[in-house]
Amino acid sequence: MKQMPLVSVVVPTFNQGHYLPVALDSIMFQSYPNIEVIVCNHGSTDGTAEVVAAYLEAVDGEKASYLHHLDIRDGEDRLARREELRFPEGRTITVVESDENIGGTSSYNEGFKRCRGTYCTYLVADDYFFPNAISRLVDVLERCQADVAYSDLFVVDDGGRILQLLSKPDYDFTACFCEWFHLGVSRLYRRELHERAGWYDPNYRNANDYDMFLRFAMADAAFVHLPEVLYCTRKHNPDNPNEPASWRGSGYENLMRESIRCAKRARRYHVERNGK
């Protein structure tokens, strides 16, 4: 049987311990069989390290049981259960952590520099995949011989209620980079792109993905859109003082500033390359 390509998923987390198990479950229970997970926890103060340790212990041997059959012996009915390991095989988890908050972008890079997969992506710790996300994205990358695949997604509230469907456009440099960043956060790409275009730039605190994928495009990466919902991203209240997201407060304004800078770069590049 053909070995499926290894997929690496980086999970950067900062003070998101209560969301983290759901995010990790959404990776561990993917239909895709060959996955490595790299959790990056730098500077969390909410007990995230303990959450990670407890999760690793559960993965190591926690079992689940279910009713399997009715056993009738000596005229007596017995409900028989079957026990099995709770978590599927074919996954590894590596943890990279420190007491120092090195910033989200640098935390991403600490994870991606350890990736071994043919394909890679990241899942921020308060988001989650649908169970077939990686299978579908790998399939479209292989069939289309593309470098980056991206899908549609749901925006959900803190309890998981769907607030919005974000349908992404089919790939076009102008639509996806010059007008605004319209690739979304549900994506998978070839790890070798980092060899061509470098790592996430720490000078971008909030729009690091806009900058990174723009550099992938400028390095002639081939993009493909998969018009299916495969991912849920949570919407938080940026004015909540307990909100750890990097765009809280002035972070949102910084996201807009950095995104405008990327859009202008994309437009200059498009003019220089196409003369219009």
Per-residue pLDDT tens for 22-70? 999 999 999 999 999 999 999 999 999 999 999 999 999 999 999 999 9
What φ, ψ does residue 174 adopt, rounded to 5°? -65, -50
pLDDT at 31: 97
pLDDT at 156: 97
Q: Count the neighbouring beta carbons within 10 Å of the beta carbon of residue 58.
A: 14
Q: Which residues of the chain fall short of a pLDDT of 50?
A: none
Q: CA nearest 221: which of 258, 195, 253, 251?
A: 195
Sorted by sequence, the CB contacts under 8 Å of residue 260 that are 6+ apart come out as none
Q: Is the dihedral of CA 258, 181, 5, 92 positive or negative?
A: positive
